[in-house]
A and B are shown apart, each in its own frame.
Chain A
């Protein structure tokens, strides 16, 4: 089981603020890094699946970067909106192995 850690555990921001949070994972034998958004009363949904060092992916106002050599990924949200409020989970795995999830970052955006 990998040690995947996310920080901060929770985050309160004002509408319109940009924010970012971190996922760290073991860099040895890295295969993939996943980001999921988990809204209250819904099931987690994948945002990004990243495999290449230096990769950057974007979906609307949300983007993510990946550094496999040092074992971290950042998730950025530009101009946060109340509908961005959710728990953001990252998960990592080595080739052929199961995903290990981090503890999540709970984001609350105040209007």
Chain B
């Protein structure tokens, strides 16, 4: 069966520090991978998605970037965190674009 792992669960980082959140999927190959952020009153906001290794699409211009160095690994990064980057981040995968999404446990990021 497929599983998705996301870490860390919580993170407190100072403003201006770098960020790296990692997500891996097991039990499937060539999944679509997503990074979402919980936006107040807006449910889940799609930040990045990837349909294959090295293929990244950004939905929202911001202080973050994503990379997919391996088929089942998706990384969310920032070179310098802003206070506004605080929030709850979720990684997810699906078999195809627009298919049912399976979510990781999420990361609560607090930038201080």
Which residue numbers of A lie inside 8 Å of B, CB to CB? 1, 4, 6, 9, 31-32, 34, 36, 42-46, 49, 89, 91, 93-104
- Which of A43, A46, A103, A104 has a CB less than 8 Å from the CB of B100? A46
Contact with A along B22-52 (1 / 0, CB 8 A): 0000000000001010000111111001000
Query: Across the interface, do A31 and B98 meet the contact criterion of CB distance under 8 Å?
Result: yes
Which residue numbers of B lie inside 8 Å of A, CB to CB? 34, 36, 41-46, 49, 59, 90, 97-98, 100-106
Query: Across the interface, do B98 and A93 meet the contact criterion of CB distance under 8 Å?
Result: yes
Query: Across the interface, do B105 and A103 meet the contact criterion of CB distance under 8 Å?
Result: no
Q: Which residue of A lies closest to B42 (CB)?
A: A103
Chain A residues near B45 (CB-CB < 8 A): 101
Q: State the 6 A-B residue pairs at the shortest beta-carbon distance, nearest first.
A: A43-B103, A101-B43, A93-B98, A101-B44, A104-B43, A103-B43
- Which of B98, B100, B101, B105 has a CB less than 8 Å from the CB of A42? B105
A52 to B90, CA, bound (A): 29
